[in-house]
Amino acid sequence: MTDVDALFTPLRIGPLTLPNRIVMSPMTRQHSPGGTPGDDVAAYYRRRAEGGTGLIITEGVAIDHPTAVDSTKVPRLHGDSALAGWRSVVDGVHEAGGRIVPQLWHVGPLWGAMARVDPTLTPLRPSGLWGRVGRTTYSQRYLSTVSTPTPAMTGHDIEDVIAAYVRSARNAVAVGFDGIAIHAGHGYLLDAFLWEATNQRTDTWGGDLRRRVAFPVEVVRAIRREIGPHLPIFYRFSQHKQQDYGARIAETPDELGRILTALTEAGVDVFDASSRHFDRPAFAGSDLTLAGWAKKLTGAHSMAVGSVGLSTSLHEQGVPEPAALDGLYRRLADAEFDLVAIGRLHLAEPAIARVLRTGAPLPSFDQDRHVRVLT
């Protein structure tokens, strides 16, 4: 068994069989005017399937809620036009032999970070708080606009959002997606319920860790009821937030275990452990990564993501250089985690799976060329 063989071992998740462990990580592109993915978006995803990627997780897709996503160029998963566009995307990926799931997204407190918003709409925040400002890339101008508390989410707001997730999951199944992914990291709505800096409620949905995880659990449980017992659910979580890259939802493995175990019991099949550097230890005293801990604590499948094959994480200074993958192959061979989500290198080279299979040099990533243009 060579170093790369672990990357090309098939994996079965419920009815979904993946030919390899390579996943296209979700990346916001903003190339869907009016929320509808067009032919260019369909071709973009199809090229990655043709290149041999085992699973594609789409860019974040707005659920059927008025404040889910602020940019009108981010795709939606509701409305006839958007659903027709996604059906074309899914059909193209399947024709190329690929598999694809949508990442359901509600930005929550970060409403207004990507685009100007309707001032009559109020962002959804668990306790009306944007979050504690720490290491962030947001401008002072933006930070000044979000510092004023808003009304906390009501019970009706919470019910509305759960129903919106369910409607969008139903739409995803109807257009032929192979499962569901949920964005619950980075300070967005579901993550905001877990983070004590944004959730200071004292009711059913806040307080101790068990109650802070209750809302994400209910979202997962509702989606699982809607799509049935078999289609896989992927769940992205993170320690860091866009409000503060140093923030944490769990200070110990025990705390993380209480969060993730509750989500596993609700119906999560795969934990997408988002870290700025996939191979950094998650807790002191152990070499285990965040993805490694997710698998160890729950027994569920886990996926590593964060600067795979690159020397610097997103938003770090400096031009990212190709980085050795020996550690990745070792951790995969040791079954520390099961899948590897690759982001920016999928933009640099649609056939990155083929590059890895053949051992060819990794492509160079150029921010201007590969991020601003859909290729």
Which residue in 188, 235, 245, 329 is the catalytic one?
A: 188
Question: What's the distance, Cα to Cα, between the start and end of the chain in Å?
Answer: 34
Q: Could you give the CA distance from residue 214 to residue 212 in angstroms, rounded to a whole number?
A: 6
Nearest to 29 by CA among 108, 143, 133, 105: 105
Cα dist. 103→45, 355, 366 in Å? 14, 26, 25
Q: Which residues contact 345 (CB under 8 A, 6 or more apart)?
A: 308, 309, 310, 352, 362, 363, 365
Q: Could you give the CA distance from residue 97 to residue 50 in angstroms, rounded to a whole number?
A: 7
- 330 in Cβ contact with 292 (< 8 Å): no
Tokens 């869907």 sit on residue: 32
CB atoms within 10 A of CB 97: 10
- 146 in Cβ contact with 130 (< 8 Å): yes
Give the SS3 label for residue 193. helix
138 classed as catalytic: no
Q: Could you give the CA distance from residue 182 to residue 102 in angstroms, rounded to a whole number?
A: 8
CB atoms within 10 A of CB 360: 12
Tokens 């866009």 sit on residue: 242
Q: Could you give the CA distance from residue 153 to residue 146 in angstroms, rounded to a whole number?
A: 16
- 41 in Cβ contact with 32 (< 8 Å): yes
What's the count of helices (H) and strands (E) in the chain, helices before strands? 13, 10
Burial of 298 (0-12, 13-18, 19+ CB in 10 A): buried
Burial of 6 (0-12, 13-18, 19+ CB in 10 A): buried
Task: State the catalytic residues.
Answer: 188
